[in-house]
Amino acid sequence: MYHGTPVDDPISKYSIRAGRFNSHLRYLKKQGWHTALFRDLNTSSVLPKKTVVLTFDDGYADNYEGVFMPLAENNMKATWFITTDCIGKHADWMGSPTLQTQMLTAGQILNMEKAGMEIGSHTCSHPDLATLSYQQQRDEMTRSKQVLETLIHGQVTSFAYPYGRHNSDSIAAAKAAGYELACTVHPGEFGSEKNPLLVRRITIFARDSASTLARKLAFADNDVSWKKMVCYYYQRINHKLIGNG
């Protein structure tokens, strides 16, 4: 799970400099990782074992040059979850408008979809869904889906819960709105959660290097600090010694 990819230092801990993201792409390509769209998880059994799904929440304008273009150049794919009220505007939940809060335009989104990227929904206004009624949640999900389907002239079947927040009504509303897959911000490998409307994702933070990405891919966790890695291997060794008697 990525967010913004500015050229300069990000204002959010969830965004990452474009140059650092490019180092992630180089790592993935060098290590033979296959990139798939989020909707491809519907047929996960036919995907290569080393498959990763890159997702980008909100729809920041800096993703166009910082992500879409290098992906296209390397024949790689990704999925964008778009907040439809903010298309061509600013992410109002980020505070005062800056270059880093500028959002993708309708034309850019359409170009990305035509080039093989997936466009998914992230609601209309980016609310905390868990604070809304069932009907309000369903309206956010349905209207954003309709806006995007009109824009790309195709189906939108993927959804991401804003802030990762959801409740039982959210899941029911996503299903009623016609989404086949939806993702949270809980870490874990695909398949560790059986509900297709609660797919797990690994969060990428501003300071995550290619080395950090490699550990996150290996452990399917957000916390891959060296302290945790040492504890993990210590526990494995200790368990093995106890098992051997």
For 119-169, write each residue's pLDDT tens digit. Answer: 999 999 999 999 999 999 999 999 999 999 999 999 999 999 999 999 999
Sequence-distant contacts of 50-56: CB under 8 A, at least 24 apart: 52/28, 52/217, 53/78, 53/79, 53/190, 54/2, 54/78, 54/79, 55/1, 55/2, 55/79, 55/80, 55/81, 55/120, 55/160, 55/183, 55/201, 56/2, 56/3, 56/80, 56/81
The model's confidence at residue 225, banded by pLDDT at 50, 70 and 90, is confident
Predicted confidence at residue 124, as pLDDT, reads 98
* CA gap 136, 129 in Å, rounded: 8
Predicted confidence at residue 141, as pLDDT, reads 98
Predicted confidence at residue 23, as pLDDT, reads 98
Six token digits for residue 162 = 């804003």
How large a percentage of the chain has pLDDT more than 90? 91
Mean pLDDT of 95-120: 98
The model's confidence at residue 234, banded by pLDDT at 50, 70 and 90, is very low
pLDDT at 242 over 70: no
Predicted confidence at residue 232, as pLDDT, reads 56
pLDDT at 230 over 60: no
Mean pLDDT of 220-239: 67
Mean pLDDT of 213-237: 77
pLDDT at 98 over 50: yes
pLDDT one-digit tens code per residue, 180-198: 999 999 999 999 999 999 9
User: Shortest CA distance to 104 belongs to which of 59, 150, 66, 149?
Assistant: 59
pLDDT at 233 over 60: no
Distances from the Cα of 28 to the Cαs of 88, 152, 176, in angstroms? 31, 29, 36
Mean pLDDT of 76-104: 97
Q: What is the pTM of this model?
A: 0.92
* CA gap 239, 245 in Å, rounded: 10
Domains of the chain, by residue range, sit at: 18-243
How large a percentage of the chain has pLDDT more than 70? 92
pLDDT at 239 over 90: no
Query: Chain-wide mean pLDDT for the chain?
Result: 94
Residue 47 neighbours by CB under 8 Å, 6+ apart: 34, 36, 40, 41
Provide CATH code, domain 18-243.
3.20.20.370
Q: Are 202 and 221 in contact (CB under 8 A)?
A: yes
Predicted confidence at residue 243, as pLDDT, reads 60
pLDDT at 236 over 60: no
